[in-house]
Amino acid sequence: MDVEHGAHQGHARVRGPDDNLADLRRHERDFAARSGFTYTVLGGGGDRIVGCVYIYPAKDGAPGAADVQSWVRSDRAELDVPLHDAVSAWLAESCAGLAVVVVR
């Protein structure tokens, strides 16, 4: 199982408050429809966002498959590989019963 880590590094763009709110509302709708799942990654104290994990159905439409991407803030780049490893382990354990799990 492979998890693409650092998917958004180097592609950052500044979001204005309205654009950011629209993005959050889209993730909320996806979650409510069970069509996508976005997780906020918090720092050790739990009070500061350091990144995100996105889980969406695989673009190739394979049943039971998902595309997974994660990113961390540039000032917490040292967490990129540990986040990748933690998400990979979590998915391997949580999705073991599925016939196909494709994680990119």
Given a cut of 90, whether residue 14 has pLDDT beyond it is no
Angle (CA) 64 9 52, round 5°: 50
* Structure confidence by residue, pLDDT tens digits, 66-89: 888 888 888 889 999 999 899 888
pTM summary value: 0.76
Each residue's pLDDT tens digit, 36-50: 999 999 987 877 888
pLDDT above 70: residue 11: no
pLDDT of residue 32: 95
